[in-house]
Amino acid sequence: MNIIKKSKNAFFSSLFFKSLKLAKAKPKNLLYIVLFDVLFVLAVSAISYLFQSIPQPASFSLALLLMLLHFFIFVFAYSFFKYAVLDYVLGFVKEKKFSYSGLKDFFTLNVLIFLIISVVLISINVLLASAVKAEYLRNILSIVSLVIFFFIYACLNISHSLFVQGKSWRVSFTKGTKLVFMKIKKYLPVYGFGVLVMLLLFLIGNLLVFIFSLVAPNALGFYRAYVLVYSIFTVLLLYALHIINRLYFYLIVERVK
């Protein structure tokens, strides 16, 4: 009972719970965040379709130029919509008038981050492809990708939180990178809560599948419908966690800085 009580107290005093309370207090901000996220997905889809419809140039220099153009347009679209999202994330904590005044510096910050991410990913892929046997490559790439995602997700959220709190793009990048590698314990609970929620969802989902298999073993159509609903619910839950994590990272950075 003491363990349950301590766990309960720890949860209700955590920054994750504080993030949930702040998000619940301003549902209008949540709606705007969802709106800008949806607009970003639509914009990226349109950009991808546009560049896929362009015939590949025979010249290497033209192909490189096209690739860089695609990169910068993507980063600008990301920066444009993410800047608006961060403005509303900040709005959970304090009143602020919406403004795009810092978009140029935010774009510069994201260009730097995404360039480094691209170089790191390409280097790791080339290194693993040349050093690891083909039969092990897929599994090792999955593990490495998971580790890289861990740091990339933290890097983007921490750097962006610093920027929206008034730091310059240089300070946001340097201090953000330092916090990512030096303060892992501070933001590790972000992943802990996410893993716990997904584990519970996985266990409940499989338990329901087991029950359905006993009650109606031949109801294949019902099972397919359940899988579809379960998959949609999982995606929506992951997205909801992602929204809360933006606020969670902001509060962590505010406390650490």
Burial code of 186-222, b = ≥16 C-beta within 10 A, e = fewer? bbebbeebbeeeeeeeeeebeeeeeeeeeeeeeeeee
Q: How far apart are CA 100 and CA 85, in angstroms?
A: 11
Which ranges in the chain belong to alpha helices (H)?
2-12, 15-25, 27-52, 60-93, 103-131, 134-164, 169-182, 184-215, 220-256
Residue 67 has pLDDT above 80, yes or no: yes
| Helix pair 134-164, 60-93: axis angle to 10 deg | 50
110-127 pLDDT, tens digit per residue, is 999 999 999 999 898 888
Residue 1 has pLDDT above 60, yes or no: no
Residue 51 · residue 70 · CB < 8 Å: yes
| Contact in structure between 200 and 207 (CB atoms under 8 Å) | no
Give pLDDT, residue 216: 64
Whether pLDDT at 222 is above 90: no
Tokens coding 25? 């207090």
**Domain ranges (residues) in the chain:** 21-101, 104-182, 184-257
At 83 the pLDDT is: 95
Q: What percent of the chain has pLDDT over 90?
A: 45
Distance CA 81, CA 36 (A): 6
The per-residue pLDDT for 257 is 62
- Per residue in 172-184, pLDDT (tens digit) is 999 999 999 998 8
What is the pLDDT at residue 117? 93
Give me the pLDDT at residue 220, please.
Answer: 59
